[in-house]
């Protein structure tokens, strides 16, 4: 779904697919994790990188999203 207008300020200046990093000094991308269908001893979960659509006028994040949706996201507390 393409959002063409900021829900906060009404601007139509939206930048899509902005890379989001958890730690800019190490360039670690922000990611959500899902269950690996091909479980192994080393990897029972896999990351899916997150992107953001952002308003150029007010700086609001319009949405976060993963390019490849999954139905088996890992949820819960850290």
Domain assignments of the chain as residue spans, ordered by start: 1-78
Q: What percent of the chain has pLDDT over 70?
A: 94
* Element holding 63 (H helix, E strand): strand 61-66
Q: Which pTM was predicted?
A: 0.77
**What does the mean pLDDT of the chain come to?**
88
Q: Which long-range contacts (CB under 8 A, 24 or more apart) does 61-64 make?
A: 62/3, 62/6, 62/7, 62/14, 63/3, 64/20
Separation between Cα atoms, residue 61 and residue 63, nearest integer Å: 6
pLDDT digits (tens, 9 = 90+) for 65-77: 999 988 999 898 8
Residue 42 has pLDDT above 80, yes or no: no
């Amino acid at each position: 779904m393409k959002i063409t207008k900021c829900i906060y300020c009404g601007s139509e200046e939206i930048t899509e697919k902005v890379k989001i990093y958890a730690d800019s000094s190490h360039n670690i991308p922000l990611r959500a994790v899902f269950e690996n269908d091909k479980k192994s001893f080393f990897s029972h979960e896999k990351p899916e990188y997150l992107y953001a659509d952002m308003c150029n006028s007010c700086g609001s994040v319009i949405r976060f999203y993963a390019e490849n949706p999954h139905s088996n996201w890992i949820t819960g507390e850290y």
